[in-house]
Structure 1
């Protein structure tokens, strides 16, 4: 059983999904630029300070979690929709008892 959406609901959901994905793409681009800058400064500037991988890993974890929330768990995603559908069916069965 699939959910029938009105054109307005489809437009709203599409805009919300696109905005979430664009936010993640911006986050990823800033991640690459900033970490490249930190690496370059540690190697070529201000003496030869050792480059720390910890900011890269910490921010990378945040980027990974952001990506999961956008692409896997986000509103309207396949996983979320299937879980909602299963819960809806379970609740309807319980109500019919």
Structure 2
């Protein structure tokens, strides 16, 4: 991945961070705030179906590659083409701080 062509970053994704707001009853509600909109390569993998209690839930896995950032965490999410992608992991594929590969699943 060290030779990745920046021209492959054809998509725009928005990195969103959770914002917790006290609900006045000792709990909190979670909203989302845009951290940044960045260029990305979005790679779709074949969707899988997982059994979830009494119903089946379709999961659509993606890998999103962006220029390296050290502020992306698994508690954040991505928004791409109106879809919400939950982050399940992230890594620096070549170890040189040039690219960040983010493993995600689209919400059903």
Give the shorter-chain TM-score range.
under 0.3
Which structure is higher in RCO with an 8 Å CA cutoff and minimum separation 6? Answer: 1
Quick check: which one's strand share is greater?
Answer: 2
Q: Which has the larger radius of gyration?
A: 1
